[in-house]
Structure 1
Amino acid sequence: MFASLLENYQKTRSLTLKLAAPLAPEDQVVQPVPYVSPPKWHLAHTTWFFETFVLQKNLKDYQAYHPQYAYLFNSYYEQAGERWGRSQRGFLSRPTVAEIVEYRHAVDQSLETLLLDIEAFDLPEQEEIYTTMTLGIHHEQQHQELLLYDLKYILGHNPLFPAYVSKPSLEPQQATHKPTSTPPQHYLKIPEGIYKIGHRGNSFYFDNERGRHQVFLHPYRILDRLITCGEYREFIESGGYQDPQYWLMEGWEWIQTENLAAPLYWHLDKNPQRQNWYHYTLHGYETLDWDAPVTHISFYEADAFARWAGKRLPTEFEWEVACNLSEPEIPETANFLDGQQLHPQPRTQHSKQFYGDVWEWTSSPYCPYPYYEIPAGALGEYNGKFMVNQMVLRGGSCATLREHIRPTYRNFFHPQMRWQFSGLRLAEHC
């Protein structure tokens, strides 16, 4: 058990460094807006997590690697001590990237020492170490995705539009799964009934998935794929961003204040010789693929598009039930971080796109399930205290690891956020 845990730990830690490898040191310090963290901060914070919640609690005579790193790299854990402000992370030119990498290696060595001597602990201590280590691995996987969001925002707001990495060439087996052009909209019919929601089984899950319970759903229909860039362009060109009838009041005020008229990273080249829409991707500046799922839209934009289309967003319960009924297993062709496409792809045959490509906005506010209890201690701050003023997203994205996602996974963001890979599918009452 602990041998596989150590292997998974090492694999996860290596992937984080691999994701940061294409970046120059200058890229790793930038913080253009408060909600974007400098890439090197992710490398340090995930290390602090293991050091604080595993090493300092369990490894005898362990001394913190640096006396001030806990202050610099604690994110929001009030019970773990004071911390440097989130909006000020860009001021931290020191420690350098090289020093943070040394910090990672030192903590990794100490973690390996701890796990190799795990039999010295009694059974309850072993179980606590295993549980916290597993949470830490999934926590780092979340930060791998956040790292990609942040570095895309940093590079995508550079007028040079530098590529993070070159576009991968398809492996022979990938080339056999050819995407189709945008198919007509087809809706899955879900009958009225009482359905069970929430995680079950012994596999890992976050505490916000706990509390398996029943919900009653009226009959509804849900689109069997994601909304594409081409369909979203119709919304733009029909004047959707100029017509308040489609927008929630807060959303309308937000797009007016921010002067928005398209998804994040979209740019209209107004040169009459080549007038076209372009967008920034992690592979650089490219023309839009109209068959690919639209991404980098806020909840407000997703909701406005649904109203314009005469539909609505599904609730998170409708999404989970439809996923379990129509695509209970993750398809081989699902587009995750593992495939290194790093961008949403057009739908492949037989896929309903419930997994990967983009996180899907739902109409559900992020609230606790019945029976939910916030765990004791600092780790109880992981999810529970954020259950207000945020909306739930489901399904994972092209920046999510395949092993990290499941039908019950509840992601959440404030409704105006759109730097994450976020999109939508439509639903309606029968």
Structure 2
Amino acid sequence: MKTTDTISKHTIDLEEKYRKIRNHSVHICAPLAIEDYVVQPIADVSPPKWHLGHTTWFFETFLLIPYFTGYQVFDPQYNYVFNSYYETVGARVIRTDRGNLSRPSVADIYQYRSYVDEQMQLFFDQKFHLSEPIATLLELGLNHEQQHQELLITDIKYILGHNPLFPPYLEDYIFPAAELKSMEMISFGEGIYEIGFEGTGFCFDNECGRHRVYLADFEIANRLVSNREYLEFIEAGGYLEFNHWHAEGWDWVKTSQRRSPLYWHQISNQWMHYTHAGLQELDLNAPVNHVNFYEATAYANWKGMRLPTEAEWEISADQLNWGERWEWTGSAYLPYPGFKKEAGAVGEYNGKFMVNQMVLRGSSEASSQGHSRKTYRNFFHAHHQWQFTGIRLAK
């Protein structure tokens, strides 16, 4: 059982963490022009102003309204505007229409954020300590905002990267160092292993249910596939040969007419790619980025290898250098043994999406600092390219 002093310190830590994380979302948006806040090029990309409003709505809806006596809702209509997918909470603007919302204005949303942050500070001041259920909800809200910070960075790149002027997000954007070492395979023996979250600290519900898995002998690459190596696949006609692709993947190739990863452009026989610093020459040593599951699998097939399962990835994670790209696995996103959804709206967070999606592991340069862990289970549909996704080979 936690002592009062321990709980009080936990409250102070969460209060400081709240301020830091909330300020970081504003920092991410600082380089944007006011017009950038409203754009929604595709359904998967939400306007930056919607992210700022939605993350604020989360704290208002799940903490202030039920637990802060006397709290006055900022605007009753915002529940309809900023609810994302919580059926329990009520009706909402459909996802594809988020870019049609000229109102509330960007200024309104920043005022909303300030109001909720002020009320949260009063909430912190009023409580000598946060009860365990409230602290748990607050931790979830903070991790939820960090997820949206990553989506903000990803969505901003898509918005600006599909502007024909290729405007930079940050002209002095610092790229992670790209040092290409030789690819070696790390071997693991047949056996029974355990995966899933254990210990203290935060995790999402889909990580829980630590359990044993049987793994046959396998090998996993010590690094990610580079742009140079992926370019060899392209030049060998990889996008023209159906034998490398899943049937759905080949349908995607024919329908989309893609012949390279997202943001790649061939200009005067030179490969360029859009980055947060604008259009740049392709760094051949950097890990390939913005490939979907179909592309990752096709490349692995072309190399006579495969993608690791999520269990293989987690077992080997301590021996891998991960965090440059989200890494596709060959595992479908399914519940762990014994998984049960939480009651109410919180139960909609992960469990309802456990169908027709693939698991990714690790994190990327777009991930908020300290947000990931080796048990983290990210998930996307197989056709998605817009996230910072790469390829690690296994056999």
5+ residue gaps, structure 2, are: 1-9
Which residue of structure 1 aligns with residue 125 of structure 2? 116
Which residue of structure 1 aligns with residue 6 of structure 2? none
Determine if contact 2:173/2:276 at 8 Å carries over to the other structure: no
Determine if contact 2:226/2:286 at 8 Å carries over to the other structure: yes
State the distance in 2 between where 1:130 and 1:100 align: 25
In the alignment, structure 1 residue 229 sits paired with structure 2 residue 196: no
Which residue of structure 1 aligns with residue 3 of structure 2? none
Identity of aligned residues (%): 52
Task: Give the secondary-structure state (helix, strand or coil) at the position aligned to 1:311.
Answer: coil
In the alignment, structure 1 residue 364 sits paired with structure 2 residue 358: no
In the alignment, structure 1 residue 62 sits paired with structure 2 residue 71: yes
Offset of residue 167 of structure 1? 2.7
Determine if contact 1:12/1:140 at 8 Å carries over to the other structure: yes
Amino acid at match of 1:205: C
Change (3 A) 1:63 1:169: closer
Which residue of structure 2 aligns with residue 143 of structure 1? 148
Offset of residue 314 of structure 1? 0.2
In the alignment, structure 1 residue 353 sits paired with structure 2 residue 321: yes
Which residue of structure 1 aligns with residue 307 of structure 2? 313
Of 217, 238, 242, which residue of structure 1 is paired with 2:240? 242
Determine if contact 1:118/1:126 at 8 Å carries over to the other structure: no
Which residue of structure 1 aligns with residue 167 of structure 2? 162
Offset of residue 402 of structure 1? 2.8
Of 254, 266, 269, which residue of structure 2 is paired with 1:256? 254
State the distance in 2 between where 1:179 and 1:101 align: 37
In the alignment, structure 1 residue 382 sits paired with structure 2 residue 349: yes
Amino acid at match of 1:376: A
Offset of residue 353 of structure 1? 2.7
Aligned residues: 386
Which residue of structure 2 aligns with residue 412 of structure 1? 379
Deviations 1:182-225 (A, max 9, x none): 33320000111111000001110000000000001001100000
Which residue of structure 2 aligns with residue 341 of structure 1? none
Change (3 A) 1:169 1:209: closer
Structure 2 length-normalised TM: 0.96
Of 171, 182, 197, which residue of structure 2 is paired with 1:184? 182
5+ residue gaps, structure 1, are: 327-351
Which residue of structure 1 aligns with residue 35 of structure 2? 26
Which residue of structure 2 aligns with residue 426 of structure 1? 393
State the distance in 2 between where 1:353 and 1:232 align: 19
Which residue of structure 1 aligns with residue 317 of structure 2? 323
Of 271, 277, 280, which residue of structure 2 is paired with 1:283? 277
Determine if contact 2:47/2:99 at 8 Å carries over to the other structure: yes
Deviations 1:276-299 (A, max 9, x none): 100000110000000000010000
Which residue of structure 2 aligns with residue 373 of structure 1? 340
Structure 1 length-normalised TM: 0.88
Deviations 1:12-65 (A, max 9, x none): 000000000100110000011111100100000000000000000111121210
Could you list the structure 1 runs, at least 4 aligned residues long, displaced by more than 4 angstroms after superposition: none
Which residue of structure 2 aligns with residue 105 of structure 1? 114
Task: Give the secondary-structure state (helix, strand or coil) at the position aligned to 2:327.
Answer: strand
Determine if contact 2:325/2:363 at 8 Å carries over to the other structure: yes
